[in-house]
Every structure is written in C-alpha cells, then in structure tokens.
Structure 1
Amino acid sequence: MQEPLHGCIRQEQYKSYLVSVTGCLLLVLLYIGSLYIWCSTLPRDHPRVIKRRCASVILVSAVSPAFVKLWMYWADITVKQQVDKSLWELMGVCLKGIIPASTLPLLLITFFYLGPLVQSALDNPDGFAGELRSALDVQTWRLCMQDAEWIRNQVVAPVTEELVFRGAMLPMMVPCTGTTAAIFIAPLFFGVAHFHHIIEQLQLGKDRVSAIFLGSGVQFLYTTVFGVFAAFLFTRTGHIVGPILCHSFCNSQGLPDIGSALSHPQRSAVLFCYLSGFLLFLVLLFPLTDPFLYGARPVCSLAASQTLEC
C-alpha cells in the first residue's frame, strides 16, 4: 500500500531537481549568451565592447528574479516548505543586518590578502601612508569611474554575477541538495561559465591551444574556489552584499603572487604576513560569518531538513 506513495515522493523530487538544474543552466546560458549577441571584431577590453556587454549582463541580472519566481511556482516551493520570505529576501537583498553584512565579510577577505597588501605597501616609496593616501584619493576614484574596464571589473561583474550565480541559483539548489552541498555544487556553474574566454582567446590566436586550455583550467579552479567562498558567505549571512563586495575586492587584487613574495628583498616579513593573513582568515571564517550577527537566513529556510541546515 505504501509503494505508490513512495513513488509519488520520488517523482516529485525528480521534478524539483529537474526544474532547479534546468533553471540554473538556463541562467548560465542566458548570461554567457548575452555577451555574444553583439557582432564585433573589436577585442573584449575595447570600451565599446565593454559597454555593450555590461548592458547585456545588467539586463540578465534584472530578469534573474523572474527565474526564481517561476522556479518557486513550478517547484511549488511556497506550499511545500511554508516559505514566508519575499523573493528579494531569498535572493539576499534586504536592509536588516546590512551593516555587518557589508563590513565583516570584507574584513575577512582583507585578512586573506594581508600578505599582498603589505607587500604592495613595502614596494610603495611612501610606505603604508602612501597606500592609504592612494586608496582615499578622490581624483584617483574619479579617474576609475571614467574607466570602462574598471567599472566592468569592479562594479558590473561583481554585482551581476553575484545576483545571478549566488542570489538566483542558490535558492534553486538548496531545496534539492541542502545548504552544505549547494555551497559546493552551485559554484561549478560559475566556474564553467568562465570557459567562454576560450572562444575569445582562440579567435585572437596569440597563444598556443594547449596554453589557452591550461589557463582556462586554472581560471575554472580559482573561480570555483571563490564561488564556494561566496556561496558560503551568502548562506551564512543571508545577504548578497557581502559576496558582491568581496568579489569586487578580489577582482582588484587578483591572485596572490607567491613567486614575487619569495623573491622580495624583505621576504621573511612578507611571507610572515602571507601566512598570518591566511591563518587569520581560517580562524575567523566562522566567527565573522556567524548567522547571529546577521539575523535570519531566508535561503536556509528552503532546506528540506531545516533543523540540520539552519
């Protein structure tokens, strides 16, 4: 007598998985596809190309809430799991707890980059004071705001990618996989999405094919690792602003250059800062993302087993 019931449950689970995965794949294809709707022979860093592509991904991120809304309808999330949060709250867009959500994750990623930051200050003729003056210089910021490449890397890419790959995708993944698994699975979409750079590099023909694929593999690795960190921040804090700010900061810093640290005149001090910063990052990872500091975690309420996930 129980077999039909179990069969219906399994069928509903498969339907939910299919809807969620399909929604995530469609978002990836839409985001990447929007970059190539403009026919141009200009390089990707040309201001005209940058402006067109920024307009495309801004439009995609603007419609991403509609994907989440449709997913909630087709997967019948509101009825099944009694979710009383708004669509924007599920996507991490809310004002409650915004101050800690804006500052603590950024402080955490700053610890991770302590070594590169100290190294940059040591290389500056004016030292730490020079670095601080440069960071606070109004003219420098004014020039940055006029630079299309800077706006793409520091503003448009972090905001649109986090809204799509974290804010929209994680709510769709959590009911199927649980919070912990979603933190590791959802970033794979983010990593794979960066493979489109292979097309552009092959068209330019500046590097060997093997070098292009190797570089793309490395990029997939570090973008996926960052995606895990951003997904962790999102599920722990319930806010999208932390991942956005950390994404922007990481884009400005790039990958830590261990090679230059090893050959630095003050190698011992620089390496000590690299190690200290990494250890501080690990030690403070959970305390600085304690949900108690941020309030409710709406996306966590989507997990099938909330007592374990939340």
Structure 2
Amino acid sequence: MQVENTHPRCFLGLLSCLFLAGLYVGSLYVWRSSSPRDHPSVIKRRCASVLLVSAVSPAVVKTWMHWADVKVDVSVWELMGLRMDGLVAASILPLLLTIVFYLGPLVHSAMDNPKGFTGEMQCALAHFHHVIEERRLGKESMSVILLVAGMQFLYTTVFGAFTAFIFIRTGHVVGPVLCHSFCNSQGLPDISSALQHPQSSALLFLYLLGGLLFLVLLFPLTDQYFYGPIPICSLAPLPASVC
C-alpha cells in the first residue's frame, strides 16, 4: 500500500485552528465603542459575536474534514465534544480536579472574604488582546500593560494546554468549559498574599497539597473508563496490517 503524505492535511488542520481562534478574538473587536469591555452594552455585543462564531465553528470543522478528506464514523458534533455518553462524569470530574488544584486559594478566600467563595467570583482573567483596550483607555503605561499581559498570557497558555488535555482525554467539551469558567472566577493563586497571612503555614500547606493532589488525580480522573469510547479523528495513515 502507498502511504499517503499527511503533512498537507496537518498543515490545513493547523490553519483551520488558527482561523477559528482569529475569528473568535476578531469578533470581539468588530464593535466600535469608547466604553470599557465590562460595560453592559459591550458585553451584550460581544456575547452576540461569540454566539455567532460558535454557530459557524461546526461548519468550519466540517469544511476542513471535507478538504482534508477525513472520514470518521461519528458526527461532527461528537468530534467537537457534544455527546451524551459519559456526560455526567465529564461535567463533574474535570471540574473537581480543577477545584482540588485551587484548594489553597479557596480556603484562603474563605478565611479573608466575608462573602466566602462568592466574593472571588467577581475576578476575571485578561488576555493579550486586552492590551489594545488598556492602551486605548490610558489606564497604565505600555511597559506595565505588557508585563501584566505577558504574565497572563503565560498563565492562559498553561491553562489552554490543561483544557486541551481534558478535551482529548474525555472527548467532551463540557469539562473544558466548566474548568475555564471556574479558573476565570479565581484568577492566579495569590501565593505572595498567602506568605504574608497570619496563617501562612497552614495556607502554604494547602497550596502545596492542592498541587500534589492535582498531579496524583490528573490521569485517574480523566481515565476513559468514566467517559466511554472517545471519538477520534486521526490524520495518521492506517497501519499496514489492516490493508
């Protein structure tokens, strides 16, 4: 059998992913407004943009599968993580894993915030594309904006790898969505504040314990046993034994 070269298809797949990412971020800036991004009118417009891009995404995936000649036995919805098999586990276990990682910050929040955990839900993460808005509003100097954005970009890159891992291991999109929402509500663990806390020893122990438990539970809680057969879309050629 002549093995088909998969490099063009992989390249086309990469371009499709970049196109979707660019389309998502670009859709947030099609609305011209002098208001900050947390203004209600801006939020409504951005929600409309995100919903539109989300509606277009399946068509982009389907088009890529057609151009790359990728044939699978499941629907495009299942490939994108929208399936019923293992849905309950996919809605609980990845989020539980993320909460375990935030054990220290959650206890820290409960100790210092009169409103408990809900007070922390007002925080959100920024991304590199927010540099444009911060600069336009003149809130900080460019060096400070870039430093903050760089740290946030590093954090969101690591987080993106984690959610991609969750998606690949579970075959569900609900886990990454819930983990993303939770992490956005919590932000970066504030270790510097924990070091200055009156109960610093206990808090640092919980920070460390949460991280260790996360590593121990990472693979067990994402085991395929909980989620059923995972739809796979592979560009690799079939082994010679099946020919």
Q: TM-score, normalised by structure 1?
A: 0.71
Q: Distance in 1 between matches of 2:147 and 2:70?
A: 41
CA distances 1:93-152 after superposition (whole Å, capped 9, x unpaired): 011101111111111011100001111222256xxxx74xx76xxxx9xxx9xxxx89xx
Partners of 1:254 and 1:305 lie apart in 2 by: 42
Question: Do structure 1's residue 109 and structure 2's residue 104 form an aligned pair?
Answer: no
| TM-aligned CA deviation for residue 195 of structure 1 | 2.4
Superposition map of 1:149-168 within 5 A: none
Deviation at 1:253, TM superposition (A): 0.8
Counterpart of 2:171 (choices 233, 238, 254) is 238
**Deviates most, 231-240 or 17-26:** 17-26
* Amino acid aligned to 1:229: F
Q: CA RMSD in A?
A: 2.5
Q: How big is the shift at 1:74?
A: 0.2
Q: 2:111 corresponds to which residue?
A: 122
Determine which structure has the larger helix proportion and give its number.
1
User: Which amino acid counterpart does residue 244 of structure 1 have in structure 2?
Assistant: V
Equivalent residue number for residue 90 of structure 1: 79
SS in 1 for 2:128: helix
Q: TM-score, normalization: structure 2? A: 0.90
Unaligned runs of 5+ in 2: none
- Does 1:65 pair with 2:54? no
TM superposition shift of 1:86: 0.8
| Structure 1 counterpart of 2:145 | 212
Deviation at 1:295, TM superposition (A): 0.7
Aligned to 1:170: none
Q: 2:168 is aligned with what amino acid?
A: T
Note if contact 2:89-2:227 (Cα within 8 Å) is conserved in structure 1.
Answer: yes
Q: Offset of 1:304 from its aligned partner?
A: 2.1
1:302 aligned residue (220, 224, 234): 234
What amino acid maps onto 1:75 in structure 2?
A: A
Residue of structure 2 equivalent to 1:56: 49
Instruction: State percent identity of aligned pairs.
Output: 61
Q: CA deviation at 1:275?
A: 0.6
**Match 1:266 to one of 182, 189, 199:** 199
User: Are 1:292 and 2:207 matched, yes or no?
Assistant: no
Q: Quick one: which amino acid aligns to residue 304 of structure 1?
A: A
Q: Work out whether 1:16 is the aligned partner of 2:9.
A: yes
Is residue 251 of structure 1 aligned with residue 184 of structure 2? yes
Mapped partners of 1:269, 1:195: distance in 2: 34
Aligned residues: 238
Q: Is 1:228 aligned to 2:161, yes or no?
A: yes
SS at match of 1:24: helix
Residue 302 of structure 1 deviates from its aligned partner by 2.1
Alpha-carbon distance in structure 1 between the residues aligned to 2:238 and 2:131 = 41
Q: What is the CA–CA distance in structure 2 between the aligned matches of 1:306 and 1:257, rounded to whole Å?
A: 48
For 2:215, the equivalent position in structure 1 comes to 282
* Matches for 1:124-203 after TM superposition, within 5 Å: 124=113, 131=116, 194-203=127-136
Offset of 1:15 from its aligned partner? 2.3
Q: Name segments (4+ residues, structure 1) moved above 6 Å.
A: none
Closer, same or farther: CA 33–124 of 1 in aligned 2, 3 Å: closer
